[in-house]
Amino acid sequence: QESELFGHKKGAFTGAIESRPGKLELADGGTLFLDEVAEMSLSTQAKLLRFLQEKYLERVGDTQKIQVDTRVICATNKDLKSLIENETFREDLYYRLAVFPIEVAALRDRTEDIPLLCSHFLKKYQKDIGKEVLSISDEAMQVLQEYSWPGNIRQLENTIYQAMIVTSYDTIDTDCLPEGIFDSSTPADEKINEKTSNDLTPYHDVIKQTLKQALMQTGGNIPGAAKALGISRSTFYRMLKKYQLS
């Protein structure tokens, strides 16, 4: 994480075969968005704080100071003040970042945004999946808008990605949605807890599970698995290679 953010010098660690700039350096003159800033180690937090204060950085394994003018915007789904009390987030970094805080409402409180977000995800993943999924049926959209989304947009994105793979048509219907989406027992005002957020399956794990399931159902027959998912054989092979399942 530290190397990705600040870069590293050749030989700084095993595998560092050449010097590389980090994201802060590459964004010089612009803006860098850091998601889930609460996941940073305390040592990386200290380096980020020093960069924000002094506007220079040192690559991992190097002592040369590099002047960088990068604006930093951070996001988190955690309560940073609680993390400060638990001594897992630096208080001085918190106040350095909280110059202009913006609290984004939970997805369950802005269900009118769900159709637009779904449209974005459909366009985003069509090339990756290799088939055109153009729309979501009214019935499926109603289910999506009635669900409470404890995992917010990330959970919605995972759901749409999985449904795009499962559908055999150019439309996502209710039978393409995961069973948990139909669970109406989740109260609308449920608080998002840390465990719920951390237990969400990333979309690349969702696709791995779907590919494995298709292969199991067809006895390892790749043409049959590709047909079951409604994608071409070449796309299925490409996805097996991409997700290291070959």
Nearest CA among 30, 25, 29, 35 for reference residue 5: 25
Is 93 part of a structural domain of the chain?
yes
Average pLDDT of the chain is 86
Q: What is the DSSP letter of 174?
A: G
One domain for residues 192 and 205: no
Q: How many domains does the chain have?
A: 3
Model confidence pLDDT, tens digit, residues 151-194? 889 899 999 998 998 888 889 999 889 888 886 544 444 444 44
Stated pTM of the model: 0.61
CATH number of the domain that residue 118 is part of: 1.10.8.60
One domain for residues 179 and 136: yes
Sign of the CA dihedral running 223, 225, 231, 234? negative
Is 102 part of a structural domain of the chain?
no
Tell me phi and psi for residue 66, to 5 degrees: -115, 120
One domain for residues 159 and 216: no
| Rounded Cα–Cα distance for residues 165 and 133 (Å) | 9
The pLDDT, as a whole number, for residue 49 is 97
Give the list of residues 6+ apart from residue 104 with CB closer than 8 angstroms, or none. Answer: none
Model confidence pLDDT, tens digit, residues 189-206? 444 444 444 444 555 676
Range of the domain at 227: 201-246
